[in-house]
Structure 1
Amino acid sequence: MRARAYKGLLAAVTAASTAALASATPAGAVAVPDPKAFSQTINAPTVKRHLERFQAIADANGGTRASGTPGYDASVAYVANRLRRAGYRVTLQEFEFPFFREITKTTMSRVAPEPKTYTRMTDFRIMTYSGSGTVTAPVQAVDVTIPPSETPNSSSSGCEASDFAGFTPGNIALMQRGTCNFQVKAENAQAAGAKGVIIFNEGQPGEGANDRRVLLNGNLNAPTTNIPVVGTTYAVGAELAAAGTTVTLSAQTEGDPQRKTHNVLAESRRGDADKVVMLGAHLDSVTEGPGINDNGSGSAGVLETAIRLGHLPSKNKLRFAFWGAEELGLLGSEHYVANLSAEEKAKIKLYLNFDMIGSPNYTFGIYDGDDSDGVGSPAGPAGSDKIEKTFEKYFQLVRQPYTGADFTGRSDYGPFIEAGIPAGGLFTGAEGIKTEAEAAKFGGEAGVAYDKCYHQACDTIANINDKALAVNSGAIAFAALTYAYSPALPGGGTPGTNTPGTGGGGLGHGHDHDHTGALS
């Protein structure tokens, strides 16, 4: 949109919103734009212009926008430029991170008792920070539970060095998800002489993202192992646990312990600096693809909202963040929060996170700030319940169904929750399987992943559901404008006093968007 046309539209929206509230505004008070009217000015075509740009950037840079690659650097430049043009103070926050990529596609096949080739990204996938190597060896199960316990996260397979008593050096260690993180399991296996590691999902059935039978997507946190490490479905793991199984596992990966990347931070020039309203989305993709839904969609929705708000005289300070290296373990947001002083944390009254808002087989998920569903992780810090209600109000106004999404700590709200900052946001689903009840409520196809192209090369502009993108982008705008002018913000207390498990939404063991996989 040309600058003159944009300014005209913005003026019209502001005038209409102000007129709508004129009768309710006391004489001499500042008229507040109407959040619903503002949200309706944002539609799928305007947001998709940013997605088209992200796609073009990926196409010009080897099909990826992963942190540490030229594609990510070009994405940073695009977002920063648009934010500067919208009037924000923009900062590129540099940090170092351990880079990882798969050089060639990992392969896994069973040699005995009967030959079988397993399908990458369906039956198994490489774990982030896996080492390289090719090995053909017997599979040796390490304290696995088949069939699984009825209680999720109860398996301690491979969590203790003593689990490997009697392990035969040179074998491939087969372990089960649960209790400790994947890095601990892999390091214990390597120390016991394993030449390869297979970790399979724990096996408990569940709805959507809580199903622990699906393909395991894991992260070893750091390049501390030099042997191949893969994750599999429960079914594949149970099959490989059979006596007499021999497997060939081959991986070629690259790791760089000190590569540089950036967060993009933009702050409004107006508003109370002691009352910061913060919105964020991760800008990076995985190395396997362009990441247009994950998470070009969230980035584009936040960016378009920021552009539309750029020239409005907000009461509170607005801060927008586009995180780097999220796909490798929330590294950008963790770096940002870790480097805030106590005083700076106290000024951030809430954080809103948007990670995958256009999934093709979507649900409209709102992060469960009050743990009203009583499932999974506990409630977020005090005030998170109010954020959830704000998003619920929007979906009620636009007459769209919605559901709760559990706080698991596995997207960029995690570091803010751990710091005691109220959080909320939206999520349309990743590799979890849509249930019959969800299909009846939201449409789409039951028994199919919310996003069949999750973390794959097919996560392109064609992988976006326009309705989900439009509705959720409107929700971002609604919440942003609501909190930009609100005299009472959710974070009235002092951040930094949160205790996970007691209303803090501590790091969970499920997955909403299982990038890190660091916890079992």
Structure 2
Amino acid sequence: MPQRMVSRFVAGLCIAALALFSAPAASASSGAKPLTSAQCLARVNDTVTKLVECVRTADLWQHMQKFQAIADANLSPADRRPSRNSGEPGYKASADYVAQVMGAAGYNVTIQTYTFTYYAFTGIPTWSESSPFAHTFALSSEWNPGQSTGSTTDATLQPAGGIIIPPTPTPSSSSGCTAADFSGFVTGRIALIQRGSCFFGVKVLNAQAAGASGVVIFNEGNPGRTGAFGGSLVDAAGNPIIPTIPVAFTSFAIGQDLYNAYQSGTPPVMSINIPAVVKENAPDYNVIAESKGGDPNHVLVVDAHLDAIYGAGMLDNASGSATILDIAQEMKNVNPTNKLRFIWFGGEELGLLGSTFYVNNLSSNDLNHIGYDLDADVTATPNYIIGVLDPAAPDFFGGTVSNTFPNRVYKASTIARDQAVAYFDSVGLNHEFLSPSGTDAISFNNVGIPASGLLTGQDCCKSQHEVDLFGGSLGNYEGNVPSFDGGCVDNPFLWCDNLSNNDPTVLTFMSKAFATMVVQMAFDTKIMSASNNTVYKKKLPIAGDVARRFVAA
């Protein structure tokens, strides 16, 4: 067994936690026959012991199979692949399924509609060089397409001003950040721009205004800013843009080679093609289901995002959606102290669109009545970690603390966090604390509402520290394990985040842990009673592109 992460519980609380979670183990050891699904659905699962006993792999997997079937039956109109992406038929079918299940369980269900700008690839983007060397750049490993459209063929590359090579030890380049960086730029050429200082969208808009037919943005070259990467395209005000010229993001090494070729008098001749479709004001949906019982002045929000990013989206995030859907069904006969509001958000993968819209459109009174949020975002990773959300913790992507929240968030968020820790301790599993960055929980933290939640990781790369804590292997959390190819979830051209990309055992123990948080907070009378306090009624910004995996500058 790996060495356990140091717990923040005091000894007395640890003893209490062991007593709290010992009943299911004792029941199993005594040879008691497990309850059937029908028996679980018929009884009142109003304690941790009862609810955890009724969170069953078969029931969870049934929801997962349904989500996969929905994706298979609803091909994307853009690439004709199975899909549950926001703005596509598979997402609406997923929302309808959740609404039907929750309505049948006796919850009051509403579907909240909002609109967004839909963007999807219609083919595989390409970037190639024809001279002085012939080379086709490999997607993901050598470059990533920006959210843009269009093509340019056999265009000469020309560097923008402000490029700093060799790079300084810390970020300093402001290449492409002003119109002056394109003085003397030849219309029709591809602009080569270095990362740094301003938003990528600002650089692209300046290049487009100078007549560029395409843009290549290369990493700056400082420590931590060297490899191939992807970026969000937003303007100076932080608003998302979709340029009508193709944009490629690449590594410092490739950018330096292209720059040196230009400086030596043999400017590269290149072609970029990004086939995509854009649709303004596409509809998207949040599914909201409230318990009939519980104090409406003290509301517990339990959420997961329902949308996929590229394809079926079975790990990210049919898994979290199935987790809260099963828990809601098992709690349908419970009369909680606090009103339960289960929400399946849309547009999370596009920049937390659904949760941002939801929070921004609550009245101050309604916002004040939300006492807590619990978020389930990826709960079945094969090469898993066990992440427990804590607003004071480092980000999953990046490992740094990148957000600051209203002070009232921090202490209260540890209550549900420590409930999850107690459960994992009781079953001999380790954990690590992660920030809510990139999850819908952050939309609640930003306005002063405490939140916690669970996640099990995605993409790449699992560290040696995480292997020591959780077992498994270095590299991908999911997809092709073991390897370092980046996994399935965030690769738009593998279409492999399917049912087989989930581990039912992980899904089960994570869902049981999440259930302990939900049922305890449903009856909480201390932290939840603070939900009449003033919260921070500020409009949340709409993030561009894929918020948790891409950077804006």
TM beyond 0.5: yes
1:246 aligns with 2:277: no
- Tell me which amino acid in the other structure corresponds to 2:510: N
Match of 2:17 in 1: none
- In structure 2, what is the Cα distance between the partners aligned to 1:367 and 1:399? 19
Match of 1:376 in 2: 401
1:305 positional shift: 1.3
- Tell me which amino acid in the other structure corresponds to 1:82: V
Match of 2:489 in 1: 454
- In structure 2, what is the Cα distance between the partners aligned to 1:281 and 1:154? 39
1:113-192 equivalences in 2 (<5 Å): 113-128=132-147, 130-142=148-160, 143-145=162-164, 150-151=169-170, 156-192=174-210
- Tell me which amino acid in the other structure corresponds to 2:392: D
What secondary structure, in the 3-state scheme, does the structure 2 residue paired with 1:79 have? helix
Superposed CA offset, 1:39-85 (max 9, x none):
34324332121111111111111111111211111111111101111
Provide closer, same or farther for how the CA distance between residues 307 and 12 of structure 1 changes in structure 2, counting only shifts above 3 A: closer
1:304 aligns with 2:307: no
Match of 1:76 in 2: 95
User: How many residue pairs align between the two structures?
Assistant: 483
- In structure 2, what is the Cα distance between the partners aligned to 1:36 and 1:235? 56
Of 428, 431, 440 in structure 2, the residue corresponding to residue 399 of structure 1 is 428
1:255-334 equivalences in 2 (<5 Å): 255-286=278-309, 288-334=310-356
Unaligned runs of 5+ residues in structure 1 are: 15-32, 501-505
Contact 1:169-1:193 within 8 A present in 2 as well: yes
What secondary structure, in the 3-state scheme, does the structure 2 residue paired with 1:230 have? strand
Contact 1:98-1:255 within 8 A present in 2 as well: yes
1:179 positional shift: 4.5
What secondary structure, in the 3-state scheme, does the structure 2 residue paired with 1:433 have? strand
What secondary structure, in the 3-state scheme, does the structure 2 residue paired with 1:215 have? coil
Match of 2:227 in 1: 213
Superposed CA offset, 1:117-170 (max 9, x none):
222233333333x1222333233444445565555x765443443443444432
Match of 1:46 in 2: 59
Match of 2:11 in 1: none
Unaligned runs of 5+ residues in structure 2 are: 1-34, 76-81, 263-267, 480-486
1:469 aligns with 2:507: yes
1:274 positional shift: 0.8
Match of 1:20 in 2: none
- Tell me which amino acid in the other structure corresponds to 1:45: A
- Tell me which amino acid in the other structure corresponds to 1:65: R
1:105 positional shift: 1.0
Superposed CA offset, 1:282-337 (max 9, x none):
11112x41111111111111111111112211110111111112222221111111
Tell me whether 104-113 or 56-65 shows the greater mean CA deviation: 104-113
Contact 1:291-1:460 within 8 A present in 2 as well: yes
Superposed CA offset, 1:406-431 (max 9, x none):
343x2322322222222222222233
What secondary structure, in the 3-state scheme, does the structure 1 residue paired with 2:90 have? helix
- In structure 2, what is the Cα distance between the partners aligned to 1:279 and 1:126? 35
1:345 aligns with 2:367: yes
Taking structure 1 as the reference length, the TM-score comes to: 0.84
1:34 aligns with 2:47: yes
1:437 positional shift: 1.9
1:405 positional shift: 1.8
- Tell me which amino acid in the other structure corresponds to 2:72: D
Provide closer, same or farther for how the CA distance between residues 346 and 411 of structure 1 changes in structure 2, counting only shifts above 3 A: same
What secondary structure, in the 3-state scheme, does the structure 2 residue paired with 1:395 have? helix
What secondary structure, in the 3-state scheme, does the structure 1 residue paired with 2:293 have? coil
1:420 aligns with 2:453: no
Of 103, 126, 133 in structure 1, the residue corresponding to residue 122 of structure 2 is 103
Contact 1:183-1:518 within 8 A present in 2 as well: no
1:223 positional shift: 4.7
- In structure 1, what is the Cα distance between the partners aligned to 2:421 and 2:168? 36
Provide closer, same or farther for how the CA distance between residues 224 and 393 of structure 1 changes in structure 2, counting only shifts above 3 A: same
1:386 positional shift: 3.1
CA RMSD of aligned residues (A): 3.1
- In structure 2, what is the Cα distance between the partners aligned to 1:440 and 1:507? 37
1:194-213 equivalences in 2 (<5 Å): 194-201=212-219, 213=227
Tell me whether 387-396 or 299-308 shows the greater mean CA deviation: 387-396
